[in-house]
Structure 1
Amino acid sequence: MQIHKLITDSKSLAELCERLSRAEFVCVDTEFMRENTYWPELCLIQIADTEEAAAIDPLAPGIDLSPLLDLLVDNEDVLKVFHAGGQDVEIIYNLTGRTPHPIFDTQIAMMAVSQSEQIGYSNLVESWLGLTIDKGARFTDWSRRPLDARQIDYAIGDVTHLSKIFPKILKRLIKTGRGEWLDAEMEKLADPENYRNDPDQAWQRIRAAGRNPAMLGRLKAIARWREIEAQDKNIPRGRIARDETLADIASHPPRQQSDLAKVRGLSPAWKDNEIGRRLMAAIEGSSPLTDAELPPRTPRGAPLGKEGALVADLLKLLLKIRAREIDVAARLLARSDDLELLAAGIRKNIPLLEGWRYQTFGRDAVDLVEGKLAFAVVNGKLKMTHVDDVEEEAAAALAEGEVEADEATE
C-alpha cells in the first residue's frame, strides 16, 4: 500500500480524491479537539482504500478541502467506512450540512457477528489482524504543528488497518446472512437529524422530573438560551451552565436577577452581569408547553410492579440466551426499554416485534410472556424450550412406553 504521510496542498489532495473516487470503499477517520470548544476543531483527516492511504492537514494554509468533502457526501458510488464514526460524521456534517452516504460502521457491524456491544478500535485490530496498536500518540494535541512522524503514522494506521478489516467483516456478514440486519442502523448513523444542533430541541437532552407544562416551558427556553450562548462563544455548553443547574432553575425559577447568586452552579457575579440578565430574560419570556409539545405518556421507564418486573427479568434472561446462541450483541436484538414495554403488555411500535428482530427474538419473547416458552437446563446449559414441544415429546415418550409395554406383555 502506498502511504502519503501528510498532504498539505490543494493539488495533491485533488489528485488523491480523483483516484479514490474510483474505489469501491474508502476508510475514513478524523482527529479533532473539542475539550474547550462548542464546535469540534478538525485537526487531521485520514483516508484509505486498498491501494493507498493518506493523512490530510485541514489546518494547512490555503488548502481546499472541497474535493474530499465532495467524495464523502456526493459520491454515492463509494462506500464510506468508519469505526465508531458518530463524531467523525458530526464533523463532516458541520462542514457541509450533509452526512457521508452510503456509510458503514465496523463497530456497529461487529454487533451482528459477535457479542461485542461497543468494541474499541484497538481490540478490533487485535481480534482481526493479531496486531497490537501503539497507543503512545493517543493523547496528542492534534492542533499543534508540526506533527511528528510517529503521530502521523499512528493516525494513518487507523485507516490502513480498517481497510484490511472491513472486507473480512463484510465476508462474515455475507456468510451469516446478517447484512440486512444492519441497514437501518447504518441509515440511522447517516441521518442528518442526529447532528443538527437545534437550540429549540436542546431541552429534550436534559433530564427533568415530571411533565408540568410551565416547568418544561422554562426548561425549553433556558436550554435554548444556553445553546445560543455556547454557540456564539464557541465554548462547551457545560461551561455556561450544567444540565442539573438548568433543571433546578426550571423547577424553582428565581424571581429576580439578584436571586441567581443563590443558585448552585452559577457564579455570584450573575446577579448583576449581562449573561445573568439574558438568562432572566429567557425565563421571563418562556411559556408553558402545549399539549402537542409535551413528552408522550408511555410505560417507558414507568414502574412495572413486582410481577411485571419479574417478567422483564425473564425477558432479559431470554435475550442473553438467544444472543449467546447465535453469537450476536444483545443490544442489537433488543433494548431494555423495549423488554419492559413488552412486559407491561404493550405490543405496538416496539422494534423487536418487527422484521428480522421478530423472527430472531421477538416471537420467542412474546411466547415467553404468554406462557408458551419455558427455560430448561440441558447438559449444564440454560436453554429455551417451547411448552408445546415439551408436551409433544412427553406424549410421544408415553406412547412409545405403552407400545413397548404391550410388546413385552405379548
Structure 2
Amino acid sequence: MHIHPLITDSATLANLCARMSQADFVCIDTEFMRENTFWPELCLIQIADVNEAAAIDPLAPGLDMSPLLQLMVNNEDVLKVFHAGGQDLEIVYNLTGTTPHPLFDTQVAAMALGQGEQVGYSNLVDAWLGITVDKGARFTDWSRRPLDARQIEYAIGDVTHLAKIFPKMLERLRKTGRGAWLDQEMERLGDPKNYANDPEEAWRRIKVPSRKPDVLGRLKALARWREIEARGKDLPRGRIVKDETIADLAGHAPKRQADLAKVRGLSATWAQNDIGARLMAALEHAEPMSADELPSRDDRKPGMGKDGALVADLLKLLLKIRSKEIDVAARLLARTDDLDALAAGQREGLSILQGWRFEQFGRDALDLVEGRLAFAVVNGKLKMTRTEDIAV
C-alpha cells in the first residue's frame, strides 16, 4: 500500500478523492479535540483503500475539503468503513448536515462475530492481524502544528490496518450468514437525527426525578438557554452550567437573580452579572410543558411489581445463555429496555420480536414470558426446556 505524505493542498486532495471514488470501500478515521470547545475541532483525517492511504490536514490554510466531503456523503457506490465511528460521523454531520452512506462499522461487526460488546481498535487489530498497535501517540494534542512523522504514522495506521481487516471480516460474515444482521444497526448508526443538536430537544439529555409540567418546562427553557450560551461561546456545556445544577434550578427555581449566589455549582458573581441575568430571563419565560410533550411514564420497565422485575431478570439470563450459544455479543441481540418492555407486557415495536433477532432470541424470549419455556437443571447444567416436556 502506498502511503502519501501529509496532504495540505487542494489539488492533491482532489486527485486522491478522484481515485478513491472508484474504490469498493474506503476506511476513514479522524483525530479531533473537544475538551475545551462546544464543537469538536477536526484536526486530522485519515483515509485508505486497498491501494493507498493518506492523512489530510484540515487545518492547512486554504485547503478545499469539498471533494473529500462529497466522497463521504454523496458517493453511494463507495462503502465507508469506520471503527466505533459515532464521533467521526458527528464531525461529518457538523460539516455537511448529513452522514456518510453507505457505511460499515467494524466494532458493530465484531459484536456479530462474538468478539465482545465494544472491542477496542487495538484489540481488533491484534485479533485479526496479530499486530500490536503502538499507543504512544494516543494523547497527542492533534491541534498543534507541525505534526511529526511518528504522529502521522500512528494516525495513518488506524486506516491501513482497517483496510486489511475489513475484507477478512466481510468474508467471515458471509460464511456465517450474519451480514444481514448488521443492516439495521448500520442504518441506526448512520441516522442523521442522532447527531443533530436541537436546542429545543436539549432537555432530554438531563435527568430529573419530577414529571411535573412546571418543572419540566423550566428544564426545557434552561437547557435551551445553556445550549445557546455554549454554542455562542464555543465552550462545553458543562463549562457553562453542569447538568446537576440545571436540574436543581428546574426543581427549585430562584425568585430573584440575587438568589443565584446561593445555588450550588454557580459562582456568586452570577447574582449580578449578565449571564446570570440571561439565566433568570430563561426561567421567567419558561412555560409549563404541554401534555403532548410530557415524557410518557416509563411503563415499559417492570417497575410495576416484583414479578415484572423477576421476569426481566429471567430474560436477561436467557439472553446470556443464548448469546453464548451462538457466539454473539448480547447487546447486539437485545437491549435492556426491550427486555424490560417485554417483561412488562409490551409486544408492539420491539426489535427482539422482529427479523433475525426474533429468530435467534425473541421467539424463545416470548415463550419464556408466556409460559411455554422454562429453565431446568440437567446434569448440573442450566438448560432451556419446553414446558410441555416437563413431567408433572
- TM-score of the aligned structures, taking structure 2 as reference length: 0.97
Counterpart of 1:75 in structure 2: which amino acid? N
Tell me what 2:74 maps to. Answer: 74
Tell me what 2:142 maps to. Answer: 142
Tell me what 2:132 maps to. Answer: 132
Q: What SS does the corresponding residue of 1:29 show, helix, strand or coil?
A: strand
Deviation at 1:181, TM superposition (A): 1.3
The aligned runs of 1:2-401 (5 Å cut-off) are: 2-301=2-301, 303-378=303-378, 380-390=380-390
Distance 1:175 1:26, change over 3 A: same
2:336 and 2:69 mapped to 1: Cα distance?
Answer: 38
1:302 and 1:77 mapped to 2: Cα distance?
Answer: 45
Structure 1 residue runs of 4 or more that deviate by more than 6 Å after TM superposition: none
Deviations 1:151-172 (A, max 9, x none): 0000000000000111111111
Q: Is the 8 A contact 2:181 2:356 kept in 1?
A: yes
Q: What SS does the corresponding residue of 2:5 show, helix, strand or coil?
A: strand
Deviations 1:349-380 (A, max 9, x none): 22111121111111101111122112234455
Instruction: Indicate the RMSD between aligned Cα atoms, in angstroms.
Output: 1.3
Q: Is the 8 A contact 1:199 1:223 kept in 2?
A: yes
1:346 and 1:87 mapped to 2: Cα distance?
Answer: 33
Deviation at 1:310, TM superposition (A): 1.5
Q: Is the 8 A contact 1:115 1:324 kept in 2?
A: no
2:12 and 2:336 mapped to 1: Cα distance?
Answer: 49
Counterpart of 1:172 in structure 2: which amino acid? R
Deviations 1:357-408 (A, max 9, x none): 11111110111112211223445542222223456xx9xxxxxxxxxxxxxx
Deviations 1:208-245 (A, max 9, x none): 11210111000000100000000000000000000010
Counterpart of 2:142 in structure 1: which amino acid? W
1:302 and 1:145 mapped to 2: Cα distance?
Answer: 54
Q: Is the 8 A contact 1:99 1:191 kept in 2?
A: yes
1:377 and 1:128 mapped to 2: Cα distance?
Answer: 37
Deviation at 1:145, TM superposition (A): 0.7
Q: What SS does the corresponding residue of 1:186 show, helix, strand or coil?
A: helix
Deviation at 1:62, TM superposition (A): 1.0
Structure index of larger Rg: 1
Deviations 1:323-356 (A, max 9, x none): 0000011111111121122112222222111121
Q: Name stretches of at least 5 consecutive residues in structure 2 with no aligned partner.
A: none
Q: Name stretches of at least 5 consecutive residues in structure 1 with no aligned partner.
A: 395-410
Deviations 1:253-298 (A, max 9, x none): 0000000011100000000100000000000001011111100123
Q: Is the 8 A contact 1:376 1:385 kept in 2?
A: yes
Q: Is the 8 A contact 1:115 1:323 kept in 2?
A: no
Q: Is the 8 A contact 2:302 2:341 kept in 1?
A: no
Percent identity of equivalent pairs: 71
- TM-score of the aligned structures, taking structure 1 as reference length: 0.93
Q: Is the 8 A contact 2:301 2:344 kept in 1?
A: no
Deviation at 1:307, TM superposition (A): 1.8
